A and B are shown apart, each in its own frame.
Chain A
Amino acid sequence: MTKGLKKDPVDFIFGTLTAIASLSVVLLIGGIFLALVQESTPAIEKFGVWKFITTVDWDPVAEVFGALSTLFGTAVTTVLSLVFAVPIAIGIAIFITEIAPGFLKGPIGTAIELLAAIPSIIYGMWGLFTLAPIMEEYIEPFLQSTIGRLPLLSILFEGTPMGIDLLTASLILSIMIIPFTASIARDSFNLTPSIVKESAYAVGATRWEVVKDVVLPYSKLGVFGGVVLSLGRALGETMAVAFVLGNNHQITSSLFDAAATITVSLANEFTEADTDIYLSSLYYLALILFVMSFITLAVARFFLLRAERRYAR
């Protein structure tokens, strides 16, 4: 603050300590990046960048490693889980902000946020022992005998339903990200000035029209930021999918097939990697995941900050 205060040596020491502590975040991000680059250097040198991400093979015995199959699994589960989760999450946010009576708003909001507090390993175990058998016996055969009959969609539902597959993993992932999207969407909805909403009601708009034409346009930046944030979360989620994806490095058109994501491969193979190039390739995957999620999360922050700034006016 003023010069007089800075002369106090204890204050200088305390201030420096706090500065170092806060810089630790920057150092950690930099350190993670550098350590991952360093550990994956052998794999980067051997397989290159473009070749690594376009190679499907993942063969520890022949020591040929490529990321395409895990990137495929990561992309499919992430996109599918967003498709399942976003409509539900936005519906929940609409329910909490516009429909629920006052005394229900708090409890339902808390309940949805509790969903986010459940550890991901619990989701994984529940998925393996409870959801997967249900998917195998009821839902997947049902899908196969209905939508699976349609000419173009049938390739999505081929094979014997086992429950341990892309569809089950995506469903679990979607349950996990619903609360993130919902709470950010709710916060964004709440930022809509009530005067604007009230004037819409005053000219005779229905509740849905107020949501669709006033609240949603007003909060779309925030909602979009929330969706991207959930995307970042889904990319890096490990334990919830590790149980039910099967860790099978393949590219498949059927949602009823086992697959692998970056996180699942890391969880299953990291401690078993017996050669240096194998471990290095796994680090390469971790590096790709880190960069992807960092960029995604940064984009999400950018939108959320812009949304915040716009409402602050």
Chain B
Amino acid sequence: MNIERKRRITNLVALALSSLAAMVGLFWLVFILGDVIVHGIRGLNLSLFLEDPVPPGIEGGGLRNAFVGQVLITLAATLIGVPVGVLGGTFLAEYARGKKLSRVISILSDIMVSVPSIVVGTFVYAIMVKPLGHFNGWAGAVALAIIMIPVVLRTTEDMLTMVPWTLREAAFALGAPYYKVIIQVVYRGAATGILTGVLLSIARVAGETAPLLFTSFNNSFFSWDMSEPVASLTVTIFQYAMGPYESWHLQAWAASLVITLFILLITLAGRFILKWRFGR
């Protein structure tokens, strides 16, 4: 009787502690998101998007240059990273399917996904900034692309592997060469999955700061020129938050709100597509 009671109490305590842990996790999410929303909304206005920064210490101005720069860098990174990632994933899932090489590259990509992004920044500085002698937007795009490639590559591989092999055999039977089978049959079957993977990888790099610090750096002026330093939202947030001015802090919060909502929405959309399409 006594033992039974002890077991029951241990059980209750353990389950309560686990539930508490879940509450702690949710608490942090609500705390951080709530804080970003409360602070960010106060700084949110039209001039944030439509005006360029004013000299430090003066009220007003906006972050138009950083918004445009962020879009430019992320877009360029996507254009570099996605083709490489999708083609690389195709090799692993199709031409090298089941081979040892495919396994090794797959594992290396998984490791590469978690390699510190600031190290990627120092690498790109060495190959693209130092030789040119100045920070430039392309270097930032390449740094983000390097982070993107393994992510896209792995999701593409997974998505292509999920396309039934019999579908390919049906196309082979019609005499189609492998590349046609891949492009016209396999890619079509896996399109939703691959696109979702691309979407999630964009969400992943859009919030990266560390790789941009030494590559695209920052620019307080509006610029379309990717061969010059380009402002990005994240680096601007870093600079403004560390700066001494109250108006800077407010703009940093507003920029944080915009970027956080953007990333969370993409992430949620990606998850729902995956769940709806693949039920996982």
> Which residues of A are at the interface with B, using a C-beta cutoff of 8 A?
1, 5, 8, 10-11, 14-15, 17-26, 28-29, 31-32, 35-36, 38-39, 87-92, 94-96, 98-100, 108, 110-115, 117-126, 128-130, 175, 178-179, 182, 206-209, 211-212, 229, 232-233, 235-239, 242-243, 263, 266-267, 270-271, 282-283, 286, 289-290, 293-294, 297-298, 301, 305
Contact = CB atoms under 8 A, between A and B. Distances in A.
Contacts of B29: 111-112, 114-115
A147 B107 CA distance: 44
A18 B87 contact: yes
Contacts, number: 272
Interface string B24-50: 111011001101100100000000000
Contact of B150 (A19, A23, A25, A122): A25
Interface residues of B, number: 89
A300 B22 CA distance: 24
Given A24-B84, A35-B127, A239 B210 contact: yes
Contact of A22 (B21, B24, B87): B87
B118 A266 contact: yes
Given A263-B118, A270-B125, 5 more contacts: A91-B24, A99-B19, A121-B234, A125-B237, A129-B241
Interface string B226-256: 0000000010011001100000010011001
B91 A19 contact: yes
A206 B11 contact: yes
Nearest to B234: A121
Contacts of B87: 17-18, 20-22
A286 B210 CA distance: 13
Q: Provide the main secondary structure of the chain A interface.
A: helix
A122 B122 contact: no
Contacts of B117: 236, 238
A202 to B, nearest CB: 16
Contacts of B172: 1, 5
B118 A36 contact: no
B15 A99 contact: yes
16 contacts: A18-B90, A21-B84, A21-B90, A28-B112, A29-B108, A31-B123, A91-B24, A98-B18, A99-B19, A112-B25, A112-B26, A119-B206, A263-B116, A283-B126, A290-B116, A293-B116
